[in-house]
Amino acid sequence: MISAIRKAMVFVSLALVAGACKKDSSVGPITGSVDDAAFNLYEQHFLDAFWKLNPGWATSVGYHKYDSILLIPNKQNREKLLNFTKVQLDSLGRYNPGTFLESNKMDYAILQNQMDYMQWQIEQLKAYEWDPSSYNVIGTFAYILNEHYEPLAKRLTSFYERMSFIPAYYKEAEKQLKDPVKELTDLAIEQHLGGLSVFESDFADSLKKTNIPDATKKLMLDRAKTSADVIRGFAEFLKSMKNDHPRSFRLGKDLYESKFKYEIQASETAQQVYNAAVDRKKYIHHEMAKLSVKLWPKYFGNKPMPADTLAIIGQMIDTLSAKHVAPGDFQEAITKELPKLTAFVTEKNLVTLDPTKPLVVRKEPGYMAGVAGASMSSPGPYDVSQNSYFNVGSLAGWSPERAESYLREYNQYILQILCIHEAIPGHYVQLVYSNKAPSMIKSIFSNSAMVEGWAVYSEQMMLDAGFGDNAPEMWLMWYKWNLRSVCNFILDYGVHCLNMPKQSAITMLTHEAFQQQAEAENKWTRVSVTSVQLDSYYTGYKEIMDLRDEWKTKMADKYNLKDFNEKFLSYGSAPVKLIRDAMLEKDKAAGSPGKN
Ligand code: ZN
Ligand code: ZN
């Protein structure tokens, strides 16, 4: 949930270890039908063709056949992609998913959605016209340089070959842009200039470590210089581009609802979830007020309470935030938390933890540095079995003010909730279960609302089970944390669909969600260059809570929390609505499962 490491969180959901590739052979005649076997074969062919058209994406998930390719972002290549989606939808139409295993039914729905989404992106969203940051190719080059999936010399050769496309790539990018969004233009300039070091120094540093002949090295370095020049040139082009009628950074209601439908794949519309979020905010404020009034005498004695309820809550949170570790103890505090969480989950019988898959805690690697806090790193779906790492950042070198502000945010209470969210029983546990339900489709197109929703849900589940001894302080802080997910949604929808002005947004975040000014400003920056991303936390949380209620009703006196958790997790990182269909056996009644 630390916004700056969200990118890493996306990769968390892509993680899958060894078992994944065994899928075809493991779906045998005992459980799957002939149709299932045919469909699994189709999935393999689908992916091979898909990666060819999406080489950068392929690299990022550990499929390295096309590392040396960079497709030119022209109309012709978009037509190819569009044609691909039509062919695939046609192929999918020949199956009858009603006869499939549950897992294949989900894959089927996920693939249909993905093909529809890609068509919509090309034909309706058209970000290639207005989002200059969509042309940033540097991330994949950095990935090839930093991830040790192949010998260095081989990776550097791919890097070298991929660079040959850079001049044509950016020439085309400049042609495609039309009235780009100002905020995205600024972001693109910053990202392109910020990433130059990959070509100007990192590549050269890596070359020195190989035995590649000097003459070849020289060619490679020359091309890196050309690449850096082209990228700098693109940034210059953006800076000087005439743009009298820039498109608004606000997506608008129609595009937003569609993007929400394809990306979040919820059973409700964005507007419906927005309405629920507004209600949830009121409910949380009410609960926080009760807790704050109760805690007041303990911390403030006879001091009179402010008349404004939000002010009472604000002062309580401010006071409790002072309870935090020293900057130098931050990593150790997180490391110490994990065995406690494991013990609690086991003692309360919340979900079975796999002792053969220990979580490795490590200091944040250099290339992630600068982002303190905690995040998960896991290998991509195609990578062979690797550890998952819980990266813990260091606050070394931070100014005392910055460290203090950060530590107040990640105070003693929130630190524990953070470990629940990221690790146990949050993201890490979800991953272990996901890996036991191997499906390349669910890993590659993993659903962010399911993944983030589970992490948010697991925080409440732990507190409900008595984690933190039911202390009102702990609950108050959790509500603050939960309010962040809720306000993320209200902010995203408000800004993109309801024209929410910056000042109202900042006021909501600081006054009603009790965030620091700097945090609120950062959030504003994020919402002005992304859309829908911030919806996944609350939407997923809400859908899981709703599903659990339905499941309780269905199971009646046979209901058991652990069974619910394990059953829910057993389907892998699929959209909650598809898991819901499977758990409540909706399709059997309807007789037509191919929903998307
Ligand atoms: Zn998360
Ligand atoms: Zn302090």
- Tens digits of residue pLDDT in 7-28: 333 333 323 222 233 333 333 3
CA–CA gap between residue 565 and residue 548 (Å, rounded): 9
Q: Which ligand does the CA of 320 lie closest to?
A: 2
- CB-based contact 427:5 (threshold 8 Å): no
- Residues of the chain falling short of pLDDT 70: 1-31, 365-373, 379, 384-385, 586-596
Q: How far is the CA of 588 from the centre of ligand 1 (A)?
A: 33
Which residue type does 190 have?
A: E
> Residue 11 Cα, ligand 1 centroid: separation in angstroms?
11
* Ligand nearest to the CA of residue 319, numbered in listed order: 2
Tell me the ligand closest to 408's alpha carbon.
Answer: 2
Q: Which ligand is nearest to the CA of 11?
A: 1
Dist CA 64 CA 54 (whole Å): 11
CA distance 228 to 212: 22
What residue spans define the domains of the chain? 3-253
DSSP category for residue 529: T
- What does the pLDDT read at residue 367? 59
Distance 81 CA to ligand 1 centre (A): 31
* Ligand at shortest distance from the CA of 323: 2
Ligand index nearest the alpha carbon of residue 481: 1
How far, in Å, from the CA of 323 to the mean position of ligand 2?
A: 7
Q: Residue 61 burial (CB < 10 Å; 0-12/13-18/19+)?
A: buried
Ligand nearest to the CA of 322: 2
Nearest ligand atom owner, CA of 318: 2
**Whole-angstrom distance, CA of residue 270 vs CA of residue 267:** 10
574: phi then psi, degrees, rounded to nearest 5: -90, 160
CB 544 within 8 A of CB 576: yes
> Residue 124 to residues 118, 121, 180, 251, 498: CA-CA distances in angstroms?
10, 6, 16, 12, 20
pTM to 2 decimal places: 0.90
Element (H, E) at 91: helix 75-92
Q: What is the predicted pLDDT for the residue at 289?
A: 98
Residue 245's CB is within 10 A of a number of other CB atoms, namely 6
User: Which ligand lies nearest the alpha carbon of 412?
Assistant: 2
Sign of CA dihedral 437, 572, 11, 360: negative
Rounded to the nearest whole angstrom, what is the distance from the C-alpha of residue 404 to the centroid of ligand 1?
Answer: 23
- As a whole number of angstroms, the distance between CA 479 and CA 474 comes to 9
Q: Which residue has the tokens 């892998």?
A: 572
- Segment 141-183, tens digit of pLDDT: 999 998 888 999 999 999 999 999 999 999 999 999 999 999 9
Ligand 1 centre distance from Cα of residue 423 (Å): 9
Q: Give me ligand 1 centre to Cα 99, in Å.
A: 35
Instruction: Give distance in angstroms: CA of 361 to centre of ligand 2.
Output: 26
Residue 463: what pLDDT? 98
Name the amino acid, one letter, at 182.
K
CA of 326 to the centre of ligand 2 (A): 8
SS (H, E, C) 378-425: CCCCCCCCCCCEEEECCCCCCCHHHHHHHHHHCCHHHHHHHHHHHCCC
> How does 524-534 read in b/e, with b if 16+ C-beta sit within 10 Å?
bebbbbbbbbb
Structure confidence at residue 453 (pLDDT): 98
Nearest ligand, CA 375: 1
Closest Cα to residue 410, out of 484, 460, 511?
484
Alpha carbon of 124 to ligand 1 centroid (Å): 30
- Structure letter (DSSP) for residue 18: G
d(CA 596, CA 64): 30
Give me ligand 2 centre to Cα 327, in Å: 10
How many angstroms is it from 40 CA to the middle of ligand 1? 31
Residue 320 CA to ligand 2 centre (angstroms) = 10
Cis check: omega of the bond before 425, within 30 degrees of 0: yes
Structure tokens at 83: 């044609």
